[in-house]
Amino acid sequence: MSIQSNEARCTSCHIGYGWKDKNFDFKDASKVDCLVCHEQTGTYKKFPAGAGNPVKEPTLFPGDGITYLPPEWNKVAQSVGRPTRDNCGVCHFYGGGGDMVKHGDLDSSMHKPNKALDVHMAVDGRNFDCTRCHTTNSHQVAGRIYSTPAATARTTLAQDDLTPRITCESCHTATPHKPGVKANDHTDKVSCQSCHIPEFARALPTKMRWDWSTAGKMKDGKPYKEKGPLGTPVYDTQKGNFVWEKNVRPAYFWYNGTIDAVSLKDPIDPTKPVALNWPVGSPQDPNARIAPFKIHTGKQPYDTVHKTMLVPHLFGPPDSDAYWRKYDWQLALASGMQKAGLPYSGQFDFVETSYVYPTTHMVAPKEKSVSCNECHSRENGRMAGIKGVYLPGRDGNRVIEVLGWAAVLGSLAGVLLHALGRAVSRRRKEG
Amino acid sequence: MSANATDCKMVNIYLYTRYERFWHWLQSALIMILLVTGFETNGIYTLLGFKAAAEIHNFVGITWLIAFAFFVFWVFTTGEWRQYIPTTKKMLLVVRYYVYGIFRGEPHPVPKRREAKHNPLQRLVYLSLAAFLLPIQMLSGLLYWSYNSWGEWGLGWLSLPVVAGVHLAGGFAILSFLIVHIYMITTGHSLGAHTRAMICGWEEVEERESVEEWEIKPRGRSTPGEA
């Protein structure tokens, strides 16, 4: 799903304070809302579909049944301070339209994590704020940007006080383990996160699958919602079916820090599941490491003639063609593609999709690190799909093995026959 | 029990010095541990867990390497290396003995002597083991162990799968040797005679006219003390 035509909701988080129409200038810094990050009262809330504006008078949002109160401007304005986890979490814990939806490693459990959940941000530990790692250089939040390649230098903060990208190595160096610990030999190929985040979504479940194709079912002529065993919605007429999981073992890929994505103009192959984005990197790339990911799968509409992904118009006024008004995919897709200024043939179907999220938070206590045999094993190991490296315990040489066993069993058979011969000949002589 | 059908007179001779016996049993223990942990590290089975297996394997491997260096020193300073010089003389007789004579209760064609501990077949097997198979295994193991330094050492062209493959093949070869070797020690005058010799140093052998000239290790250099 995509931003176009649904901006009034997305811009609650994505830069776009006061979005009104297509001509909004997303680059105009005066339209960045400072207060989300910098107010400390915890009362500054935006109306979910208010184009990044808080309400002017108490307003009920039917989506969550909460009444949004207008901010007490003097209190909010006076509380301006350095951003805390709560400030950043306003957007980052609720990405994708709710808590625990997008990233499996950033959700509301990270407001007050304990040490078992995150060794850095633990309230009973160092209590890092996000900005402790995501240091800024004139407000350019250090992090990762999908479109620019990996950090090219493995520098420490001491060497380079303001790294444009934060990495674990910025604080820990590339050999953080005691001398002789084998993990130090791994850091040139295996990212820290691969070993130190054994599972994500360890406190709250995260959404793993979103099937849009089943949306639109009614109960007694009305849209409805259903909750599953984890207490999370498994069906919503507006959105289709969801699958949630807790304590999820990540998927691993070579990754140099760049993630490529399919655009609405790129042709897709609907005969296979479509990867909407994918980590870039290969074993030959010296900047690439094996890194953990959450894979979110789904079923989404695509154009069966043009073979492109489609974007529906989801949210709009009552008389619009928006899906959440009329529950008609055909109208919503036509309207969405028209607003995006992209062609639509009028023929659509749903296709399997996947989407990756890097996993980098929820670093577990060291005793919980992934153990050697979870990677170095032949069956169901974490490194099962990773090519370009030789892992003892996972890889071997089947030819040598077959020949080797043949030699061993041959020797065994030989000596047994020989022993039998000796026993028989002796008995004959004695008997 | 005695399976000796001939009526030779038996004598006790001192075959293996204390150091030799110590070395033999140390090396066999090390090799057994290396085999067990090595095959586990390769992923053939799970016994101790990958971490323990790999760590023990590395430690024991390095220990073996150091101990082997002492053995090489001993072999050369004592002149015992001559016991390993290969020969073809009587080789066929020995082979004939093991495939035929042994079933008929014939005596061994080349009985052990202090100065000639190894028969021609043993010489060949032990020489290829000590000069060829074990060093290959040590070298490939050492390379495997130092994988993360290949770049610095200018060995970047090496391939880990190849080094690991050689090391695995060597492991199988040593295991095969071990099976035959353990069996062969039951072929003395009694099932336990050879084992006893390797424990106490003394072995009961048939008394015969002295060993032939070619078999004898020239004396003169320091020979390990007789008991």
Domains of chain A, by residue range, sit at: 1-81, 84-204+246-304+347-375
Nearest Cα residue to A34 out of A20, A26, A44? A44
List CB contacts (< 8 A) between A418 and chain B.
98, 183
pLDDT, chain B, mean: 83
Residue B148 has pLDDT above 90, yes or no: yes
| pLDDT: which is higher, B12 or A122 | A122
Nearest Cα residue to A360 out of A165, A175, A207? A165
List CB contacts (< 8 A) between A404 and chain B.
168-169, 171-173, 175
The residue-averaged pLDDT of A340-344 equals 92
Nearest Cα residue to A383 out of A290, A295, A296? A290
pLDDT at B79: 84
In degrees and rounded to multiples of 5, residue A208 shows phi and psi of -110, -20
B46 interfacial to chain A (CB closer than 8 Å) = yes
Residue A83 has pLDDT above 80, yes or no: no
DSSP B131: I
Residue B147 has pLDDT above 60, yes or no: yes
Contact A373 B51 (CB under 8 A): yes
Selecting from A394, A408, A421 the residue whose C-beta is nearest the C-beta of B43 gives A394
The two structure tokens encoding residue A316:
């709009």
Express each pLDDT in A241-283 by its tens digit.
999 999 999 999 999 988 999 988 899 999 999 999 999 999 9
B45 interfacial to chain A (CB closer than 8 Å) = no
Contact B183 A396 (CB under 8 A): no
CA closest to B102 among chain A residues: A422
pLDDT at B216: 63
pLDDT at A17: 40
A300 within 8 A of A212, measured Cβ to Cβ: yes
Helix (H) or strand (E) holding B32: helix B18-42
> pLDDT category, A60, cuts 50, 70, 90?
low
The residues, ordered by sequence, that sit 6+ positions from A198 with a Cβ below 8 Å of its Cβ are A249, A364, A368, A369, A370
pLDDT at A301: 95
In angstroms, what separates the C-alpha of B57 from chain A's closest C-alpha?
A: 12
Q: Of A100-109, A139-148, B193-202, which gets the smallest average pLDDT?
A: A139-148
| Long-range pairs for A23-29: beta carbons < 8 A, 24 or more residues apart | none
CA B119, distance to chain mean position in Å, is 13
Number of cross-chain residue pairs from A and B with Cβ atoms under 8 Å apart: 95
pLDDT at A219: 93
Selecting from B3, B160, B172 the residue whose C-beta is nearest the C-beta of A408 gives B172
Contact B168 A377 (CB under 8 A): no
Residue B123 has pLDDT above 50, yes or no: yes
B48 interfacial to chain A (CB closer than 8 Å) = no
**Cα B86 from Cα A95, distance rounded (Å):** 77
pLDDT at A291: 97
Express each pLDDT in A10-29 by its tens digit.
555 554 443 444 444 434 44
Highest average pLDDT, of A6-10, A62-66, B9-13, B204-208, comes from: B9-13
Highest average pLDDT, of A143-157, B130-144, B207-221, comes from: B130-144
pLDDT at A28: 42
Express each pLDDT in A274-331 by its tens digit.
999 999 999 999 999 999 999 999 999 999 999 999 999 988 888 899 999 999 999 9
Superfamily of domain B3-211: Transmembrane di-heme cytochromes, Chain C (1.20.950.20)
> pLDDT category, A399, cuts 50, 70, 90?
very high
B104 interfacial to chain A (CB closer than 8 Å) = yes
Residue A105: is it exposed, middle or buried by C-beta count within 10 angstroms (0-12/13-18/19+)? buried
Residue A197 has pLDDT above 70, yes or no: yes
Compute how many other C-beta atoms are within 10 angstroms of the C-beta atom of residue A306.
17
Express each pLDDT in B162-171 by its tens digit.
999 999 999 9
pLDDT at A29: 41
Q: Of A44-53, B111-120, B184-193, B197-206, which gets the smallest average pLDDT?
A: A44-53
Selecting from B43, B161, B173 the residue whose C-beta is nearest the C-beta of A393 gives B43
| pLDDT: which is higher, A83 or A63 | A83
| pLDDT: which is higher, A47 or A373 | A373
In angstroms, what separates the C-alpha of B38 from chain A's closest C-alpha?
A: 10
List CB contacts (< 8 A) between A411 and chain B.
176-177, 179-180
| pLDDT: which is higher, B114 or A234 | A234
Residue B50 amino acid letter = F
Strand blocks (E) in A220-288 = 225-227, 233-236, 240-245, 251-255, 259-261, 274-275, 277-279
Contact B172 A376 (CB under 8 A): no
Contact B105 A411 (CB under 8 A): no
Q: Which of B6, B62, B103, B191 to mutate to test the interface with A (most CBs of A within 10 A)?
A: B103
The residues, ordered by sequence, that sit 6+ positions from A144 with a Cβ below 8 Å of its Cβ are A165, A257, A358
Contact B176 A408 (CB under 8 A): yes
Q: A184 in helix, strand or coil?
A: helix
B8 interfacial to chain A (CB closer than 8 Å) = no
Query: So what's the ipTM on this one?
Result: 0.81
Q: A223 in helix, strand or coil?
A: coil
The residue-averaged pLDDT of A382-394 equals 95
pLDDT, chain A, mean: 81
Compute how many other C-beta atoms are within 10 angstroms of the C-beta atom of residue B14.
15
Residue A35 has pLDDT above 70, yes or no: no
The residues, ordered by sequence, that sit 6+ positions from A151 with a Cβ below 8 Å of its Cβ are A163, A164, A165, A167, A257, A287
Contact A393 B169 (CB under 8 A): no
In angstroms, what separates the C-alpha of A204 from chain B's closest C-alpha?
A: 31
B46 within 8 A of A378, measured Cβ to Cβ: no
- Show the CA angle centred on residue A347, arms to residues A342 and A348, nearest 5°: 85
**In chain B, domain spans:** 3-211
Contact A404 B41 (CB under 8 A): no
**Cα A285 from Cα A378, distance rounded (Å):** 25
B165 interfacial to chain A (CB closer than 8 Å) = yes
The residue-averaged pLDDT of A186-205 equals 95
Contact B49 A376 (CB under 8 A): no
**Which B-chain residues 172-201 have CB contacts (< 8 A) with chain A?**
172-173, 175-177, 179-180, 183, 186-187
**Cα A216 from Cα A350, distance rounded (Å):** 14
Q: Of A212-226, A252-266, A320-334, A416-430, which gets the smallest average pLDDT?
A: A416-430
> pLDDT category, A69, cuts 50, 70, 90?
low
Express each pLDDT in A135-190 by its tens digit.
755 444 555 555 555 555 554 444 444 445 678 998 898 899 999 899 999 999 99
The two structure tokens encoding residue B205:
């052998």
The residue-averaged pLDDT of A31-56 equals 51
The residue-averaged pLDDT of A368-374 equals 95
A315 within 8 A of A12, measured Cβ to Cβ: no
Selecting from B50, B168, B175 the residue whose C-beta is nearest the C-beta of A396 gives B168
Q: A17 in helix, strand or coil?
A: coil
Residues in A whose CB is inside 8 Å of some CB of B read 182, 185, 188, 371-373, 376-378, 390, 392-397, 400-401, 403-405, 407-408, 410-412, 414-415, 418-419, 421-422, 425-426, 429
CA closest to A392 among chain B residues: B42
Residue A370 has pLDDT above 70, yes or no: yes
